[in-house]
Amino acid sequence: MAFLKLAKTDQVLEGKILVKKTKFTNIILTRLDGEFLAFEDVCTHDGEIISCGKLEGEVITCPRHFAKFNIRTGAVLAKPATEPLTLFPVRINGDDIEVDYEDAF
């Protein structure tokens, strides 16, 4: 485990995307039904910046070829992607959002 502090809880709004650049990759933070989620800002189909896509509830749509993913599970909901999104464990430490960049799944 290697947690990285990425934002304050009040910076991440329900249903909105906050992109944080790290030296490892760019990570999207969002809040869904009060739960903080983190996933890589990369579409697994062909590497598009998925934060430029549309987030509706727990589904994000890639802007390039319109693959859809569930942001809670990473599951592919619509092709052409076949591999799930890369998700990161999140923990809240006080009012800090910390992401475990070593244990991506």
For residues 30 and 14, what is the distance between their CA atoms, to the nearest angstrom? 7
CA 11 – CA 70 distance, rounded (Å): 22
User: Binding residues for ligand FES, how many (CB under 6 A)?
Assistant: 10
Residue 67 lies near ligand FES (rule: CB under 6 A) = yes
By CB under 6 A, is residue 65 in contact with ligand FES? yes
* Amino acid symbol at 10: D
Q: Which of 37, 43, 90, 104 binds ligand FES (CB under 6 A)?
A: 43
For 33, the token pair is 């039904």
Nearest-approach distance from CB 84 to ligand FES, in angstroms: 13
Q: Residue 68, interface with ligand FES (CB under 6 A)?
A: no
Among 6, 45, 51, 101, binds ligand FES (CB under 6 A): 45
State the Cα–Cα distance between residues 101 and 105, nearest whole angstrom: 10
In contact, 70 and 59? CB cutoff 8 Å: yes
Binding site for ligand FES (CB under 6 A): 43, 45-46, 48, 62, 64-65, 67, 80-81
